[in-house]
Structure 1
């Protein structure tokens, strides 16, 4: 099993241009990051595109990660989440798929279902996250899900919950701290 220290080491070596470390980082984290992107975009093809962008960004900006007590996976997931939300907003702005798009036909033919091992890992992670979300106040858990699973902005969430924008930011920040605390137990 790859540890936090291993990922930090691979990031540090990637920042120095070590291709082997970058390949190891990809092997260790790509499945989880693909899951994050897929959950936000609800489209495996789009999620795979985002994953490619994520690793290009990691290669270019690995030197920006500093081991400061935060998990390296938090940084990687944040990069993935932000790029996924950007992609989701572009898709909503332009419209999804045109009729007769060859990509649409290929997506319908390919079996994009995760394998048994990935399903078991994802189910375990989801159960842990759901248990931690259940520890939050119900309205805050809904806000967290809206932000991180639906890709809603702070402004959209504030309007949905009829609270000021800064209140929503505070809710999300405090909720994420509680979730991190719960997941680290």
Structure 2
């Protein structure tokens, strides 16, 4: 994603935070396909992915003011909202995680789940910040290839075509980028 694209998404998020439904519609138009693909990969059911996508954009509308460009790009922020929603849906579908205790049949205190969720979100945010810092250390070609491969789902041949580079070169960018990213995250 080019710097112009990032700045455009940032300005759309800012306008959305100020209540612009036009900016929100543009933001949806530019990002919904990517988020839907991410949700579909996690949830593996189209109906659940569609429901999650709707929930995500309600949350984006309500939380746009909390976006901070210093903590990450708009795509990372949007993807984290989608990921959290998908994981919440998966947890809710697991029979061993219920809002009712198995012994008494009475509802568990709601603050228990919320506390765990807040702690997990704080940890995930810290991990995202570390990942963002490590991505900044990569060469542009490596970072762009990794982002397109893992956030957009591009295959190596598609990356080769997109970058007009030989397939072996693109594979090297991805492999070396992953290696450097792993080394950075292990520090």
Q: 1:16, CA displacement in angstroms? A: 0.5
- Separation in 2, partners of 1:80, 1:133: 24
User: What is the number of residues matched between the two proteins?
Assistant: 118
Q: Distance in 2 between matches of 1:36 and 1:61?
A: 20
Q: 67, 72, 75: which one pairs with 1:73?
A: 75
| Partner Cα distance (1:68, 1:48) in 2 | 30
Q: CA deviation at 1:79?
A: 0.5
- Which of the residues 7, 12, 19 maps onto 2:21? 19
Matched, 1:41 2:69: no
**Which consecutive residues of structure 2, in runs of 5 or more, have no partner in the other structure?**
98-147, 160-169
Alpha-carbon RMSD across the aligned residues, in angstroms, is 3.4
Structure 1: gaps spanning 5 or more residues: 96-120, 142-170, 176-185
- Say which one has the larger Rg: 2
What residue number does 2:62 align with? 60
CA 1:91–1:81 in structure 2 vs 1: closer, same or farther (change >3 Å)?
A: same
Q: 1:84 — aligned with what?
A: 86
From the superposition, tell whether residues 26 and 91 of structure 1 become closer, same or farther in structure 2 (CA, over 3 Å).
same
* Mean CA deviation greater in 125-134 or 14-23: 125-134
Name 1:4's counterpart in structure 2.
Answer: 6
Segments of 4+ moved more than 6 angstroms:
121-124
Question: Which residue is 2:130 aligned to?
Answer: none
Alignment partners' CA distance in 1, 2:175 and 2:149: 18
- Show the 5 A alignment for 1:78-117: 78-93=80-95
Output one character per residue of 1:100-137: Cα deviation in whole Å (capped at 9) or x when no partner. Answer: xxxxxxxxxxxxxxxxxxxxx99973326995764436
Structure 2 CA distance, aligned partners of 1:51 and 1:70? 21
TM-score, with structure 2 as normaliser? 0.54
In structure 1, distance between residues paired with 2:68 and 2:33: 23
Matched with 1:125 is 153
User: Within 1, Cα distance between the matches of 2:53 and 2:78?
Assistant: 11
In the TM superposition, what is the alpha-carbon distance from 1:91 to its structure 2 partner? 1.5
Q: Paired residue for 1:51?
A: 53
